[in-house]
């Protein structure tokens, strides 16, 4: 890691060790939100992102005081370590996914105004840790990222999303800058092919609203008209909640199963909301408990993908605030 040069005698006489340490701690902790944002985009899980950032800070404070003060750029040091921790987590995630019950989807996030602040999610309930919602956290984008190799995903997020030079990316993924350039390029092609990185449009909100009305009316024909003929639907219950056992394909098949499944969710109300910065729906049981978060991938004027997260471990940020 880079180190800073020693201060001259006059400067050193004016700066006490206590003041230097206090300044260092403040500067280091100010990076927490950026690290959470970076780790979530790399991992697709807020819980895993929290773990990665916690491990990053644990390694920082495991350094001796002199070694920490010798680091020229604590921000660069933290980013490098967080990137390596995320890379290791992505590599081990493949083995964990083999044991996961059913399909795995990224963890959905609410609009910042709706974020649960009751403490059930630990440090993640701190407003300073909330994820910045932009095109790089759309569910479609995260799903594409999840299909990439760990090194490809880390290289793409660091370079294309956060604009880190390939020379810095190379140190994190332990590849050459040229290899990292190729990783990011292939990832970029995947994202473009999936049309996964674009700003939301007013038409998206209208489509989601129309789907909600058609679903509540059990109108199969209206649902079919809103779905792309080649649409897919995927559910994530993690073995802890009932959901689709396998992905569904085709507009009519999805429409019929949606109406059938909706009939089993008596007492559940559909609410329009923002999911990862885009129009979505939540299913509230009894008007209070969030049991499902729905997000959508939209192409043109049709819904191409429907993702339903029902695993309660991925819905902790969606607890309804008192009085909501």
78 in Cβ contact with 56 (< 8 Å): yes
Nearest to 40 by CA among 121, 125, 136: 136
Flag the least confident range among 94-98, 232-236, 254-258.
Answer: 94-98
Provide the angle, in degrees to the nearest 10, between the axes of the packed helices 46-62 and 74-99: 130
CA separation for the pair 14, 23 (Å, rounded): 14
Task: Yes or no: say if 36 and 53 are a contact pair by the CB < 8 Å rule.
Answer: yes
* Mean pLDDT confidence for 139-145: 95
Say if residue 17's pLDDT is above 80. Answer: no
| Residue 194: exposure state from Cβ atoms within 10 A (0-12, 13-18, ≥19) | middle
Tell me the average pLDDT across 159-180: 96
Q: Evaluate if residue 314 carries a pLDDT over 80.
A: yes
Summary mean pLDDT of the chain: 86
Return the structure tokens found at 55: 């491990």
Length in residues, the chain: 324
Q: Which domains does the chain have, with CATH numbers?
A: 9-99 (1.10.1740), 202-318 (3.10.450.50)
Contact 248, 233 (CB under 8 A): yes
pLDDT-based confidence at residue 12 (cuts at 50, 70, 90): very low
Residue with tokens 């991992």: 43
8 Å CB contact between 158 and 108: no
* Confidence grade of residue 207 (pLDDT, cut at 50, 70, 90): very high
Residue 179, pLDDT > 80, answer yes
Range with top average pLDDT, 50-64, 131-145, 276-290:
50-64
SS3 assignment for 244-260: CCCCEECHHHHHHHHHH
Using the predicted structure, report yes or no on whether residue 10 has a pLDDT greater than 70.
no
pLDDT at position 248 over 50 = yes
Work out whether strand 302-309 and strand 289-299 pair parallel, antiparallel, or are unpaired.
Answer: antiparallel
Q: How many CB atoms lie within 10 A of CB 249?
A: 12
Q: In the predicted model, what is the mean pLDDT of residues 187-205?
A: 87
- The pLDDT of residue 130: 75
* pLDDT of 259 higher than 80: yes
Q: Where are the beta strands (DSSP E) in the chain?
A: 227-236, 248-249, 268-275, 278-285, 289-299, 302-309
Q: Which residue has the higher pLDDT, 165 or 19?
A: 165
pLDDT at 205 over 90: yes
pLDDT grade for 124, boundaries at 50, 70 and 90 = very low
The pLDDT of residue 44 is above 80 = yes
State how far the Cα of 31 lies from the Cα of 138, in Å rounded to an integer.
23
With cut-offs at 50, 70 and 90, classify the pLDDT of residue 11: very low
At residue 264, the pLDDT reads: 64
Q: Mean pLDDT lowest for which of 23-27, 128-132, 176-180, 211-215?
A: 23-27
Residue 110: strand, helix, or coil = strand
CA-wise closest residue to 276 among 137, 161, 104, 157? 137
What's the average model confidence in pLDDT over 51-80? 94
DSSP strand pairing (302-309 vs 227-236): parallel
Rounded to 5 degrees, φ, ψ at 162 are -105, 0
Q: 117 pLDDT band (50/70/90 cuts)?
A: very low
Structural tokens at position 147: 């299909």
């Amino acid at each position: 890691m880079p180190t800073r040069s020693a201060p001259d005698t006059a400067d050193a006489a004016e700066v006490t060790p206590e003041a230097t340490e206090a300044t260092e701690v403040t500067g280091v902790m100010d990076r927490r939100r950026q690290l959470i944002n970076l780790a979530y985009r790399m991992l697709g899980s807020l819980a895993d992102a929290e773990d990665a950032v916690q491990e990053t800070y644990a390694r920082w404070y495991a350094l001796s005081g002199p070694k920490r003060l010798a680091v020229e750029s604590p921000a660069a040091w933290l980013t490098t370590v967080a990137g390596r921790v995320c890379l290791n987590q992505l590599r081990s995630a493949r083995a964990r996914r083999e044991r996961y019950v059913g399909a795995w989807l990224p963890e959905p996030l609410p609009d910042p105004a709706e974020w649960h602040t009751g403490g059930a999610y630990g440090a993640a309930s701190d407003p300073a840790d909330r994820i910045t919602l932009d095109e790089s956290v759309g569910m479609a984008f995260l799903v594409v990222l999840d299909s990439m190799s760990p090194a490809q995903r880390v290289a793409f997020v660091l370079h294309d999303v956060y604009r880190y030079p390939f020379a810095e990316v190379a140190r994190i993924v332990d590849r050459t800058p040229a290899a990292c350039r190729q990783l990011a390029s292939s990832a970029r092609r995947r994202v473009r092919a999936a049309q996964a990185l674009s700003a939301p449009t007013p038409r998206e909100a209208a489509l989601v609203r129309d789907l909600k009305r058609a679903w509540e009316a059990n109108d199969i024909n209206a649902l079919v008209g809103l779905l792309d003929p080649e649409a897919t639907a995927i559910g994530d219950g993690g073995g802890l909640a009932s959901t689709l056992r396998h992905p569904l394909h085709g507009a009519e098949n999805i429409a019929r199963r949606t109406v059938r499944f909706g009939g089993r969710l008596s007492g559940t109300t559909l609410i329009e909301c923002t999911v990862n910065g885009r129009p979505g729906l939540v299913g509230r049981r009894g008007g209070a408990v969030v049991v499902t978060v729905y997000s959508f991938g939209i192409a043109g004027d049709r819904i191409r993908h429907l993702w339903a997260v029902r695993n309660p471990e991925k819905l902790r940020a969606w607890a309804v605030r008192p009085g909501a």
